[in-house]
Amino acid sequence: KAGVTQTPRYLIKTRGQQVTLSCSPISGHRSVSWYQQTPGQGLQFLFEYFSETQRNKGNFPGRFSGRQFSNSRSEMNVSTLELGDSALYLCASSLGSTGGTEAFFGQGTRLTVV
């Protein structure tokens, strides 16, 4: 069974640009969550999608957005990039009709904003 796949693995962008990250969940998983990981802040929840609908949202500005497709693949978009957006972005998938099920993480996309 294939794991969670994130593309691309690495990105370098210039301040002010926008970026789109992709996450393919484990087959059969309908929930996809996104997290930002930085050395100082740990893992911070961005948002969760379930059956193409945003089900939960963290405390990030509106520059961070996402969507989910009918095959459960999800994309995350960050507009007007700032230097502070440099981080490892992780997605996690779970069966997720309700909470309390194991979340499987992808290997992450390392975003560097210069």
Partner 1 sequence: GENVEQHPSTLSVQEGDSAVIKCTYSDSASNYFPWYKQELGKRPQLIIDIRSNVGEKKDQRIAVTLNKTAKHFSLHITETQPEDSAVYFCAASRHNQGGKLIFGQGTELSVKP
Q: By the criterion CB under 8 A, which residues form the site for partner 1?
A: 4, 31-33, 35, 41-45, 48, 50, 55-56, 58-59, 90, 92-94, 96-108
State in angstroms the smallest separation of the CB of 27 from partner 1: 16
Please confirm whether the linkage preceding 39 is cis (ω < 30° from 0). Answer: no
**Residue number with CB closer to partner 1 (21 or 96):** 96
- Rounded to the nearest 5 degrees, what angle is found at the Cα of 101, between the Cα atoms of 70 and 6? 50
**Residue number with CB closer to partner 1 (70 or 102):** 102
